[in-house]
Amino acid sequence: MTEKLFTMRGASFLFVAIAAACFVVADVSIDTLDPWREFARMLSGVFNPDFATVENVFDALAKTVAFAFLGVALGSACGFGLSLIFHLRVVRFSCAFVRAIHELFWALIFLQAFGLHPLAGLLAIALPYAGTFAKVYAEIMEEGDRRPLESVPADTSGISAFLFARLPDAWPHLKTYTLYRLECGLRSSAILGFVGLPTLGYYLHSAFMEGIYQEVAALLFLFFGLIATIRWWVRPKLLPVYLGIAPFLLGGGGAINLDNVVRFLTSDIVPAPLRTGGSSTDLWVWTSDLLMNQALPGLVNTVVLTQIALVVTGVVALAAFPIISSQFFGRIGRSFGHLVLVVVRSTPEYILAFVFLQLWGPSMLPAIVALALHNGAIIGHLLGRYTDELPLRLDRAAGLDLYGYEIVPRIYGQFLAFMFYRWEIIMRETAILGILGIATLGFYVDSAIQDIRLDRAMVLILITAILNISIDALSRVIRARLRLKTTPECT
């Protein structure tokens, strides 16, 4: 036990030291002239939401829900099928690749191929979610009770054994995780509006850019209400109804031009020297310029920002979990704590970062705070629930002694497990925040798309995927070395 604690302590100190070194070279500054004045305007909007001025709000909410339901349903169905063959290396790699690319990157890709068509948003959610569902579903079924499967007759078919021996045990966990991913799908669907699709994010972006914070607050309150009540309006018996209605709520779009799709696949994403018949020297010059002037700076900034945000996330999580723990607060205090954490963890990092950018300007500071608040609230929520199950002595300490000497040491392994699991997720979000003007890989991807250099954008997105896969693999190694474990439905 002592050796394990020392190892966990050593890993913690190492990551804190890395984050401190990254902070020295990070671009962390406040570049706006009067952030407090802008903050006062935002706060006024929060206390005076104007629901009357919000146009097409119910249409936007309906489209947000429709994209989420159909994207998650398609991703879940494909992921379930893939989970059954997840032991194949090619399946594991393919799933890791598609989930390593953020939904907004997928949306940018599909918008170039299909134009402003609902199919672009649907696939942007379904594809990475299928990779995630396949991994988690496979883990859930692998960790299930094997005794029913061992008790079936030897001549039982594989399908029957799966349906009657393995699936019933795993089914409650599969449902729980799918419901959690539906909440994530609503957040993903909302931010698709920031790249032009007609979901809630489209109207949020417009209201933000015009400084109409009363409308921003109204839209966010409606979104929080949608997330907070999900367990009441998402009922198993109603799912077929929702899925039947959802395609009609997506709205129309221009017809998909197959010539554009073919050109995108066979020409637009092919490196320019190859497309124009250039020599190997031309290809080398093109590749070197892209790697040195865009990929490398974007990669460095992405890693720097991720490592700082990861450690600050840990600080937020350790500070947040007591406000919902029965070990520290009564019912009224915990209710307020739950409200705070629900609001923060329900707000996508992209929207939080967008808000802080209006206050502080385009440095790494808005991204660090946004990532830390969102992910810290998620981990704090999980830790708070975990502490409720801890048995404590009757003569236990109180206050800071209870926190520092009794609770934190007992949950620290679980805390690190959640942190290392969120590491790759924070990396994905860090990359995509570049679209807002922060110089991570997403900044260079968005610039390349704006310049209609889709070949450069695809290479940069590929580098982003490789980086995320590498971080995920390193995280698994560290968790295994420290013998840390998270339950699949909590991730």
- Confidence grade of residue 374 (pLDDT, cut at 50, 70, 90): very high
For the chain, give the number of residues.
491
Question: Which tens digit of pLDDT belongs to each residue from 161-170?
Answer: 666 566 667 7
pLDDT at 55 over 60: yes
Question: Which tens digit of pLDDT belongs to each residue from 386-415?
Answer: 888 877 766 666 778 888 888 888 889 889
First-to-final CA distance of the chain? 26
Q: Residue 257: its pLDDT value, please?
A: 78
CB 102 within 8 A of CB 429: yes
Which stretch of DSSP H or E encloses residue 464? helix 454-482
Both tokens of 52, joined, read 């009357």
The count of other CB atoms within 10 Å of the CB of residue 409 is 10
Question: Which tens digit of pLDDT belongs to each residue from 87-114?
Answer: 899 999 999 999 999 999 999 999 988 8
Q: What does the pLDDT average to over 226-236? A: 85
- Confidence grade of residue 5 (pLDDT, cut at 50, 70, 90): very low
pLDDT at 243 over 50: yes
Q: Which residue, 122, 57, 124, 131, is CA-closest to 99?
A: 131
Q: What does the pLDDT average to over 63-90? A: 92
- Residue by residue, DSSP assigns 156-220 as --HHHHIIIIIHHHHHHHHHHHHHHHHHHHHHHHHHGGGGT-SSHHHHHHHHHHTT-HHHHHHHH
Q: Can you tell me the distance from the alpha carbon of 418 to that of 181, in angstroms, rounded to the nearest whole number?
A: 17
Q: What does the pLDDT average to over 297-306? A: 95
> Average pLDDT, whole number, for the chain?
86
Q: Residue 2: its pLDDT value, please?
A: 44
Q: Which domains are assigned to the chain?
A: 1-30+274-491 (1.10.3720.10), 49-268 (1.10.3720.10)
Question: Which tens digit of pLDDT belongs to each residue from 150-159?
Answer: 566 555 655 6
pLDDT at 73 over 90: yes
Both tokens of 361, joined, read 């300007």
Q: What does the pLDDT average to over 454-482? A: 90
CB 158 within 8 A of CB 149: no
Between residues 148 and 461, which one has the greater pLDDT?
Answer: 461
The count of other CB atoms within 10 Å of the CB of residue 358 is 19
- Confidence grade of residue 144 (pLDDT, cut at 50, 70, 90): low
Q: Residue 16: its pLDDT value, please?
A: 95
Give burial (CB, 10 Å; 0-12/13-18/19+) of 394: exposed
pLDDT at 433 over 70: yes
Q: Residue 1: its pLDDT value, please?
A: 42
Q: Residue 230: its pLDDT value, please?
A: 85
Both tokens of 164, joined, read 């009657």
Kindly report the backbone phi and psi dihedral angles of residue 469, in degrees, each rounded to the nearest multiple of 5, phi listed first: -65, -40
pLDDT at 319 over 80: yes
Q: Residue 395: its pLDDT value, please?
A: 61
pLDDT at 358 over 90: no
Q: What does the pLDDT average to over 277-281? A: 84
pLDDT at 9 over 60: yes
Q: What does the pLDDT average to over 65-92? A: 92
Question: Which tens digit of pLDDT belongs to each residue from 244-269?
Answer: 998 988 877 667 778 888 888 888 88
Task: Give the position of tokens 């399946």.
Answer: 91
Q: Residue 18: its pLDDT value, please?
A: 95
Q: Residue 328: its pLDDT value, please?
A: 86
Q: What does the pLDDT average to over 223-240? A: 86
Q: What does the pLDDT average to over 480-485? A: 78
DSSP annotation of 117 reads: -
Q: What does the pLDDT average to over 437-464? A: 91
Percent of the chain with pLDDT over 90: 38
Q: What does the pLDDT average to over 438-457? A: 90
Question: Which tens digit of pLDDT belongs to each residue from 171-226?
Answer: 788 888 888 888 889 999 999 988 888 888 888 888 888 888 888 888 888 888 88
Q: According to the per-residue pLDDT averaged within each range, which of 272-276, 329-333, 376-380 is highest? A: 376-380
CB 419 within 8 A of CB 313: yes
Half-sphere exposure of 466 (CA within 13 A, CB side): 8
Question: Which tens digit of pLDDT belongs to each residue from 23-33?
Answer: 999 988 888 77
Q: Which residue, 98, 132, 84, 103, is CA-closest to 489?
A: 132
pLDDT at 3 over 70: no
